Amino acid sequence: MPLGTWLKAGTSATALVLAMAGAATAAPAGESSAAQAAAVTLRYDDSRAAGWEAAIAAGVASWNANVSNVHLVEATPGTAAEIVIVATTGWPQATLGPVRPGRQVRVELGSQAVDQGYNKTRIAAHELGHSLGLPDTKPGPCSQLMSGSSAGTACTNATPNATERSRVQSAYASGITAPAPADERILIDAP
């Protein structure tokens, strides 16, 4: 085989290996790029949640960093969202999911909890957890995001624990083909 053919074959093989290595490192550790591509994307609309934007962004970032079967993204103006987030004067509450693409749940981020000293980011992450299918686990320790107000006002943990992560991963493991829950329950997070 002529030297030029060997060089072309070697260059092509090197490019293929580098491309494959780049694709393998693009996915988080332990997760294939196919699994990452199969994640369910849910849009949220926080346009009526004035004063909560930073807490919502932090809560969304916490969920996105801790689960891979579902990904939360901000809806562009004028598009439908699966999770509608509004600021209210009452206690935080949310529709229990898991919400599916094309369906809709509501999250109410109530200032009454903030007035009593509860952390805004924890509230936002907790209420998003309901939308993803997690019920309250009251009473519970601060290490459980879904323990909500029972963990006390000193608790600022906005990260789901291993059990909570696993339950959300399971709820979205089948992607968008899994059925939505039959009942629609509103969970109010008053102490």
Alpha-carbon distance 55 to 51, whole Å? 9
Identify any residues that bridge with 186 across adjacent strands, giving them in sequence order: 95
Task: Provide the residue type at 40 as one letter.
Answer: V
- Tell me, yes or no, if 127 is annotated catalytic: yes
Query: Token pair for residue 164?
Result: 């909570």
Alpha-carbon distance 184 to 61, whole Å? 26
131 and 95 Cβ atoms separated by less than 8 Å: yes
DSSP 44-62: EEEEE-TT-HHHHHHHHHH
- One of 31, 74, 108, 127 is an active-site residue; which one? 127
End-to-end CA distance of the chain: 78
Alpha-carbon distance 186 to 177, whole Å? 24
Burial 81-115 (b: 16+ CB within 10 A, else e): bbbbbbbeeebbbbbbbbbbeeeebbbbbbbebbe
Please give the positions annotated as active site: 127
